[in-house]
């Protein structure tokens, strides 16, 4: 059984994953109307789907452990970006914020000796290591490219190979 504090922290994480999904969905929609970046667009759509899976995985866990997962209200995400580079900078910033909130949940689980939640959250801890590393690599590449249009063309080709989160969270 989850404590009230643990349940609240997990529900806050549900909100953050849902908000992340919205943030990347907004990036996807914005990218979709920019010319010539179809693969970047589908990367954002995939990322948004992935975050929704992270949210669902948490909802199921909370309810299975005798708690109640609250479906939260969400904020309007940033709808447009000055450039692709800006969008990816925001993505990295957002992932760093998600990692911090995951650490908070893990801290509470440890303090409460809730090892089931602690164990469950390890999946998120490793997922965040991957996602942050990926976001950093992309930012580095975009930095190198600068304003070079052919570089952006190659970046868009490259991103096709990128797997966000390595598959569906439901399978893990
Ligand atoms: Fe990328 O955030 Fe979920 O965990």
Domain range summary for the chain, segments of one domain joined by +: 4-72+79-161
Q: 90 in ligand 1 pocket by Cβ < 6 Å?
A: no
What separation in Å is there between the alpha carbon of 142 and the centre of ligand 1? 22
| 151's tokens | 């570089």
Per-residue pLDDT of the chain (172 residues; tens, 9 = 90+): 899 999 999 999 999 999 999 999 999 999 999 999 999 999 999 999 999 999 999 999 999 999 999 999 999 999 999 999 999 999 999 999 999 999 999 999 999 999 999 999 999 999 999 999 999 999 999 999 998 999 999 999 999 888 776 543 333 3
Q: 17 in ligand 1 pocket by Cβ < 6 Å?
A: yes
* Claim: this prediction has a pTM higher than 0.85: yes
CB 43 within 8 A of CB 164: yes
What separation in Å is there between the alpha carbon of 147 and the centre of ligand 1? 29
Which are the contacts of 110, defined by CB distance < 8 A and separation ≥ 6?
118
**Sign of the torsion angle spanned by Cα atoms 140, 39, 169, 30:** positive
Residue whose CB lies within 8 A of the most ligand 1 atoms, among 48, 51, 162, for a mutation test: 51
Looking at domain 4-72+79-161, which CATH architecture does it have?
Up-down Bundle (1.20)
DSSP per-residue string spanning 56-89: HHHHHHHHHTT--PPPPP-PPPP---S-HHHHHH
Q: Cα–Cα distance between 149 and 50 in angstroms, integer?
A: 29
* Secondary structure letter of residue 36 according to DSSP: T
CB 28 within 8 A of CB 37: no
């Amino acid at each position: 059984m989850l404590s009230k504090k643990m349940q609240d922290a997990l529900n806050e994480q549900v909100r953050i994953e849902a908000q992340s999904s919205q943030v990347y969905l907004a990036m996807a929609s914005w990218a979709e109307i920019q010319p010539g970046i179809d693969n970047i667009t589908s990367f954002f759509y995939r990322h948004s789907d992935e975050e929704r899976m992270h949210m669902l995985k948490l909802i199921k866990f909370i309810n299975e452990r005798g708690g109640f997962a609250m479906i939260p209200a969400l904020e309007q995400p940033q709808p447009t970006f000055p450039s692709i580079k800006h969008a990816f900078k925001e993505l990295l910033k957002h992932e760093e914020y998600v990692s911090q909130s995951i650490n908070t949940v893990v801290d509470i689980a440890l303090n409460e000796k809730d090892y089931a939640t602690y164990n469950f959250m390890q999946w998120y801890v490793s997922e965040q290591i991957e996602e942050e590393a990926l976001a950093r690599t992309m930012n580095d590449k975009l930095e190198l490219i600068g304003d070079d249009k052919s570089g952006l063309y190659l970046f868009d080709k490259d991103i096709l190979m990128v797997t966000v989160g390595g598959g569906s969270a439901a399978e893990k």
